[in-house]
Each structure stands twice: as C-alpha cells, then as structure tokens.
Amino acid sequence: MHVASSGRVWPAIVTSKSRERMNGTISWVSSPLTCQIQVSGPSHVRFMQGLCSNDVVQTAIGVSCEAYIPSVQGKTLAHGFLEKYDDRIVFLGLGQQSEALLPHLQKYSMIEDVEVTDQSDTKNAIFIWGEDATAWLKEKLEVSDLPDLLQHRSVSWEGATIEIFRTPILQEDSYELSGPNVESLVQGIEPSAEAFEQKRIAGCFPIHGIDIGSEHLAQEVNRDDTAISFKKGCYLGQETVARIDAMGHVNKKLVAVHWLSEPVPEELPAAIVVDGKEVGRLTSLACIDGQYWGLAMIRRGLNVVGTRIDSENGSLEVANYSS
C-alpha cells in the first residue's frame, strides 16, 4: 500500500499487465436492481419497520437487509434490499416492482411523517462482478477498501459521488455502483447479460415478476434465513408469516432444478405437469457449463433436493446447485 504525501491512502500499484488480466475477469450489466424507492422523514425507520419482514431497527446505518414487503394477506408484494442511512431508507429490488409497491407505501405514509419517492426512472447504475471485482474496483476508484457484504458507502470519483452497494445476489463478489457517468468505469468491457443470468440462477436469487410475484407467500420464496426476522415486533402481514412458521411448511417453494432432458422448454414460465396435474412451474433457465439449470416453484412433496420429476415436457431434478 502507498501513502501519498497528502496523507491519502492509495491501493497497491497495479501494472498494465495485471490490469489487463483483471479486466478479463470482470463482468457487468446495467443494474438489475431497477426498482428504487426512497423513504425519508423523521419516522422513516418506524414506518418501514411496520411494513417489512426484516428488522430495520436493528440494522446499522450503512448496512442493508434483505426483506419482503408483504401485503395484508402476507403475500410478497415486493422483495429486495433496504439500505439504511441516517435520514432515509432506500428499497432496491430486482424487476419492475414500483407499480405495486409505490401506491402501497404511499397509502400508509398518509398516517406517518415520511415522504415516499420513486427514484427508479432517474437512477443510473451498473452491476459488476467477477473473480477480481474487489481489487479491480479499488484500483479504478483509487480507494483502499470497499463495503463488506450488504454494506453501502459513498465515494468520490472524478468529481461526482458514487454509491457502492455490495450485494449477495451472486455467489461471488458483486457490487452495484450508482451515480453520474458510472458506465465509463467499464468502458471497453462488453456487458454480459447472459453471464449475469447464469450466475443469478446458480445463486438461486429470484426476480420479482419472473420467479416470484404478489401471488406468493413469503415462505414460498424460500429465503426465510436471509429475508425474515421471526423475532421483531408486529408488521403488516406478519400474522400469516407467523402462522406458516408455526405450521412448519408451505404448499410450494421456489427451488433450484437441473433440467435433464432434451429439448428444454422454449418459453417460460413452463408448466411442470405429471399425470395431467400441474405440480410446478419452471420460471428461469440457463445453460451453465453445458447443462441446464433453473429455478422452479414446485409443490410440497416434490421439492426436496434429489427428487426427480418426470413431467410431460421433460425430466428434471430438484438440485442444490453451487457454482
């Protein structure tokens, strides 16, 4: 590490040869976190605590938590991350979630001292991942460290403020960077939408509106450990979430699957039909290392890892995929 005479800490010197090697291991796309809604005002923490499945009160400033925004019935109105700042909370979600989430938040904001702002159409962000993503970003941004997992931080770059969020969406280091002209960071590197989809499916991370929707109960999404606090106080939809937790199961769950036969479904979602009855729906599918892996919402009794399903449109096995 080099310390400049001004006292600024610079990352270790990166040669042109090592920089070229790192560029080859970096992938990026326009940020898939396309839904961004800010809640600000004196009551912003209390407001969101009463509307989400995770504990934002216990979440530290500068840290994010994964959460559902349930409907009154406990259905998954929205799913994403809640970034906590000292004066606001920002919801970030994959997929187009604003149409349902914005009026929901606005409805309840009428009885709280908060302001709800949809920033989805004005945000400018990219999503970066790769073997050397952390080292590459440090060198690009001229910083000595980056946020830890689920943390977010602002840095100054070329006279502008860049927001960095380290995400758990993929099974490797991945960051969303938002701010003016952030695309210039990846100038000369082609975007990799197909690679992102492969990595997302390998990490079993759902997109609202594709793999999950407002018709699904929170526990059907199968992210209880990361998106639900069973210790926090009351929130909208909690009664249903708590009742399912007491029952110990839901009737279907989103799981990883290995598609075993040819041809693979040409259109998604694709019904998984056995003996004339639909037992699930394949929602995402990608070819990874020559084999097809996907995400599917499958009925209880057939969604245990290792279960083989011979359906009318092909054979598949419930998997525990890890890239």
What is the greatest pairwise CA distance in the chain? 74
Q: Would you tell me how many other CB atoms lie within 10 Å of the CB of residue 290?
A: 5
Kindly give, in sequence order, each residue whose CB lies less than 8 Å from that of residue 80, ignoring residues fewer than 6 positions away: 33, 35, 66, 67, 91, 92, 93, 94, 97, 208
Helix and strand tally (H, E) in the chain? 7, 18
Burial state string for 73-101 with b = 16 or more CB within 10 A and e = fewer than 16: ebbbbbbbbbbbeeebbbbbbbbebbebb
Query: What residues are paired with 53 via a beta bridge?
Result: none
Phi, psi values for residue 239, rounded to 5°:
-60, -45
Task: Tell me how long the chain is.
Answer: 323
Tell which residue, 26, 31, 190, 27, has the closest CA to residue 126: 31
Alpha-carbon Rg for the chain in angstroms: 21
Give the amino acid at 10: W
Does 176 count as an annotated binding residue?
yes
Handedness of CA 10, 14, 19, 23 (dihedral sign): negative
Nearest-angstrom CA–CA distance, 11 and 140: 10
Cβ contact 33:48 at 8 Å: no
Binding residues, as ranges, are 176
Known binding residues for substrate are 176
